[in-house]
């Protein structure tokens, strides 16, 4: 599904990732750990084509990402849901409109998604906040809204970059459960986090592989949790 | 960009257009620039059309006629006039020729010397009015023949003073069209700047749209439609004001001369209506180019 072969990424003369090789199989669950600045976000951005490898081969859904033009990358991103720690929204639009944004940009009819929108927002606990504007949302609500937006097109892969970074423990557990639930639906999940307690908490719910980035290299951190 | 792209862009999508915040100084700038430029374009167009009409009128009015002046002693004047008329009657390209009467010649001189001029006591040359016909007058050939047969004849085919006037009117018309092109170029430049500013100000929105899988066409389209409609609206208002201004200009009249002829006549009134459409087209192309360039930079 996502395969990196000897991928390196250099920016401004400095190598941020070196010779990274890993495969994310369909339906698998992964944690990506490492200290701040280790390159977790860079690796995630490579996985959805926001950055392109300096060398090596990165294929997503059997497509060489370096060979795709911008519009092809955009289409590919519709199959990859992304949740960032500092999730960004369009502040002049309502929560419902923000979550429905992927439907709009992909040209899918309102009817096909609108029915699911309310259900989806209820699933992440925001059913009563449809008309709220993003600035009115708390950190946890924003994260859940970002997750809803990431999955509204039913992507095959979900990439979450420090999704629990700005929320309390209870909310981080709730988000984790949502991601585990998505994995049970067959989605491939990759969560970048430096929060080891989150990884430990996931142990009882999911078979996850833990990858660790240190000194620009990717390592398997240990046995399955 | 294909025709389908253009149709999709213009068809619009009110929800998609909402991804770009509706406010911002670029909105006012675009409206103002489009309005002001359309206003100026109306006057440039009016000037150009009026200059064209004058050039055509002068050319046609003067091109079809010539004047033959007989400068001869009084005792030979009648004979030379007769000889000249004979030559003219045999000359191809002369439709008709007639000697002006004494009263007609006095009327021509009246504006300068007054109505009481004793014409019969002055050595006034005889004027012959020549109306050209097909295949056109060969002025050079006629001059050579008149030089041989009517020594006192001087042919004036009006070329000497017609051409500078027509040239001046044509130059004015060209200036009008150049002004319209410059106005179009300046509008494109200003709208490009406004579009660039808007794209830069909305970089975060573009980032979000990219994150959720928006293609360049979708993102550019939202900006292009916004700027195209604004330019169309601004240009419509500017054109309306400009046309009102032209309508209030004095009617063309002989007494007013050239200045009173600036305006639209008949079908000409349709042309300024095209200005908002052209303004919108300029905005469309300028914003599309700016958006594609900016999106490439942001990738």
What radius of gyration do chain A's Cα atoms show? 17
Chain A residues with CB-CB distance to B2 below 8 A:
none
pLDDT of B26: 77
Helix extents (H) in chain B? 3-11, 14-17, 25-63, 74-89, 102-113, 139-149, 159-201, 203-211, 216-247, 274-298
The beta-carbon neighbor of B213 closest among A90, A106, A110 is A106
> Is the domain of B179 the same as that of B52?
yes
Chain A residues with CB-CB distance to B204 below 8 A:
88
- Tally the domains of chain B: 2
> Is the domain of B52 the same as that of B183?
yes
Chain B residues with CB-CB distance to A70 below 8 A:
215-216, 295-296, 299
Q: What's the mean pLDDT when you consider all of chain B?
A: 84
The beta-carbon neighbor of A105 closest among B18, B209, B295 is B209
DSSP class of B251: P
> Is the domain of B177 the same as that of B294?
yes
Distance CA A49, CA A76 (A): 8
Distance from CA of A78 to the nearest CA of B (A): 5
Distance CA A50, CA A39 (A): 14
Verify whether the Cβ–Cβ distance A104 to B19 is below 8 Å. Answer: yes
* Closest chain B residue to the Cα of A105, Cα to Cα: B214
Residue B256 pLDDT exceeds 70? no
Torsion angle in degrees (nearest 10) through CA of B214, B219, B222, B224:
-150
Residue tagged 């990884």 (tokens): A199
* pTM of the entire predicted model: 0.71
pLDDT of A224: 44
b/e B137-148 (16+ beta carbons within 10 angstroms → b): bebeebeebbee
pLDDT band at residue B11 using 50, 70 and 90 as cut-offs: low
SS3 A189: strand
Q: Give the end of a domain, one of B151, B178, B211.
A: B151
Instruction: Give the mean pLDDT of B231-239.
Output: 95
Mutate to test the interface with B, among A48, A52, A90 (most CBs of B within 10 A): A90
**Per-domain boundaries in chain A:** 1-79+156-225, 84-154
- Residues forming beta bridges with residue B59, ordered by sequence position: none
pLDDT of B7: 65
Residue B242 pLDDT exceeds 70? yes
Distance CA B272, CA A193 (A): 63
Residue tagged 């915040």 (tokens): B21
B271 in a structural domain: yes
Domain membership of residue B147 as a residue range: 72-151
Find the chain B residues whose C-beta atoms sit closer than 8 A to any C-beta of A.
15-16, 18-19, 21-22, 204-205, 207-218, 295-296, 299
> Is the domain of B266 the same as that of B181?
yes
* Mean pLDDT, 10 residues at a time, chain A of 225 residues: 91 88 92 88 91 93 91 92 87 91 80 72 87 90 90 90 82 86 92 87 86 84 54
Verify whether the Cβ–Cβ distance A102 to B212 is below 8 Å. Answer: yes
Distance CA B272, CA B279 (A): 11
Mutate to test the interface with A, among B19, B215, B292 (most CBs of A within 10 A): B215
SS3 A13: coil
CATH fold of A1-79+156-225: Rossmann fold (3.40.50)
* Closest chain A residue to the Cα of B216, Cα to Cα: A71
Instruction: Give the mean pLDDT of B165-170.
Output: 82
Out of A49-53, A213-217, B2-6, B52-56, least confident range: B2-6
Question: B243 Cβ partners below 8 Å, 6+ apart?
Answer: B42, B264, B269, B272
Output the six-digit token pair for A48: 């959805």
> Is the domain of B35 the same as that of B182?
yes
pLDDT of B37: 93
CB A157 within 8 A of CB A191: no
* Closest chain B residue to the Cα of A73, Cα to Cα: B213
Verify whether the Cβ–Cβ distance B211 to A82 is below 8 Å. Answer: yes
pLDDT of B259: 57
Distance CA B190, CA B234 (A): 13
A85 or B61, higher pLDDT: A85
> Is the domain of B50 the same as that of B188?
yes
Residue tagged 């200003």 (tokens): B190
Chain A residues with CB-CB distance to B19 below 8 A:
90, 93, 101, 104
Of chain A, the end-to-end C-alpha distance in Å amounts to 22
pLDDT of A225: 42
CB atoms within 10 A of CB A168: 11
Q: Give the end of a domain, one of B151, B185, B200.
A: B151
Distance from CA of A77 to the nearest CA of B (A): 5
Verify whether the Cβ–Cβ distance A90 to B16 is below 8 Å. Answer: no
* H/E element, A200: helix A196-202
pLDDT of A109: 62
- The residue among A206, A181, A179, A203 whose CA lies nearest residue A192 is A179
* Closest chain A residue to the Cα of B204, Cα to Cα: A88
pLDDT of B254: 56
Distance CA A190, CA A206 (A): 13
Q: Give the end of a domain, one of B95, B116, B151.
A: B151
* Closest chain A residue to the Cα of B295, Cα to Cα: A70
Distance CA A174, CA B201 (A): 35
Question: A199 Cβ partners below 8 Å, 6+ apart?
Answer: A31, A33, A193, A208, A210, A225
B175 in a structural domain: yes
The beta-carbon neighbor of B214 closest among A50, A74, A153 is A74
- The residue among B208, B234, B229, B206 whose CA lies nearest residue B292 is B206
pLDDT of A112: 57
* Chain centre to alpha carbon of residue B96: 34
pLDDT of B3: 66
* Closest chain B residue to the Cα of A71, Cα to Cα: B215
Verify whether the Cβ–Cβ distance A105 to B208 is below 8 Å. Answer: no
Distance from CA of B18 to the nearest CA of A (A): 8
* Closest chain A residue to the Cα of B218, Cα to Cα: A105
pLDDT of B8: 62
B66 in a structural domain: no
Out of A4-18, B198-212, B246-260, least confident range: B246-260
> Is the domain of B135 the same as that of B18?
no
B156 in a structural domain: no
- The residue among A1, A24, A44 whose CA lies nearest residue A16 is A44
What radius of gyration do chain B's Cα atoms show? 31
> Is the domain of B224 the same as that of B181?
yes
Residue B117 pLDDT exceeds 80? no
Distance CA A76, CA A2 (A): 12
Distance CA B238, CA B215 (A): 35
Mutate to test the interface with A, among B17, B213, B216 (most CBs of A within 10 A): B213
């Amino acid at each position: 599904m996502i395969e990196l072969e000897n991928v390196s990424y250099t920016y401004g003369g400095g190598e941020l990732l070196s010779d990274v090789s890993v495969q994310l199989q369909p339906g698998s669950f992964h944690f990506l750990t490492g200290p701040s600045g280790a390159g977790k976000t860079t690796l995630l951005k490579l996985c959805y084509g926001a950055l392109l490898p300096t060398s090596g081969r990165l294929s997503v859904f059997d497509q060489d990402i370096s060979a795709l033009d911008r519009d092809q990358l955009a289409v590919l991103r519709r199959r990859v849901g992304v949740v960032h720690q500092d999730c960004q929204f369009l502040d002049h639009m309502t929560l419902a409109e923000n979550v429905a944004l992927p439907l709009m940009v992909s040209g899918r009819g309102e009817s096909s998604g609108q029915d699911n929108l309310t259900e989806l927002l209820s699933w992440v606990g925001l059913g009563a906040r449809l008309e709220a504007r993003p600035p009115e949302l708390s950190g946890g609500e924003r994260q859940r809204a970002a997750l809803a937006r990431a999955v509204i097109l039913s992507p095959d892969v979900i990439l979450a970059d420090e999704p629990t970074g700005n929320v309390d423990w209870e909310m981080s557990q709730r988000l984790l459960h949502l991601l585990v639930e998505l994995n049970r639906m067959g989605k491939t999940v990759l969560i970048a986090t430096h929060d080891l307690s989150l990884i430990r908490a996931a142990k009882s719910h999911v078979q996850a592989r833990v990858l660790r980035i240190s000194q620009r290299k990717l390592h398997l951190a240990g046995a399955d949790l | 960009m294909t025709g389908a792209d253009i149709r999709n862009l213009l068809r619009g999508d009110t929800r998609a257009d909402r991804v770009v915040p509706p406010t911002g100084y670029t909105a006012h700038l675009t409206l103002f620039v489009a309005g002001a430029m359309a206003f100026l374009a109306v006057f440039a167009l009016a000037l150009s059309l009026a200059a064209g009409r004058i050039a055509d009128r002068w050319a046609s009015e003067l091109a079809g006629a010539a004047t033959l002046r007989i400068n001869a002693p009084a005792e030979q004047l009648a004979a030379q006039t007769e000889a000249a008329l004979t030559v003219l009657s045999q000359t191809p390209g002369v439709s008709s020729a007639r000697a002006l009467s004494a009263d007609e010649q006095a009327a021509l001189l009246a504006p300068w010397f007054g109505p009481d001029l004793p014409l019969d006591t002055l050595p006034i040359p005889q004027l012959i009015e020549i109306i050209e016909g097909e295949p056109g007058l060969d002025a050079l050939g006629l001059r050579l023949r008149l030089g041989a047969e009517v020594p006192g004849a001087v042919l004036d085919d009006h070329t000497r003073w017609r051409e500078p006037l027509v040239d001046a009117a044509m130059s004015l018309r060209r200036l009008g069209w150049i002004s319209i092109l410059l106005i179009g170029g300046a509008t494109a430049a200003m709208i490009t700047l406004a579009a660039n500013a808007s794209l830069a100000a909305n970089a975060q929105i573009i980032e979000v749209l990219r994150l959720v899988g928006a293609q360049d066409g979708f993102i550019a389209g939202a900006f292009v439609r916004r700027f195209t409609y604004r330019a169309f609206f601004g240009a419509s208002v500017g054109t309306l004001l400009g046309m009102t201004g032209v309508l209030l200009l004095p009617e063309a009249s002989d007494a007013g001369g050239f200045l009173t002829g600036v305006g639209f006549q008949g079908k000409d009134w349709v042309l300024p209506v095209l200005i908002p459409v052209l303004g919108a087209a300029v905005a469309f192309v300028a914003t599309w180019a700016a958006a594609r360039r900016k999106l490439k930079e942001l990738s």
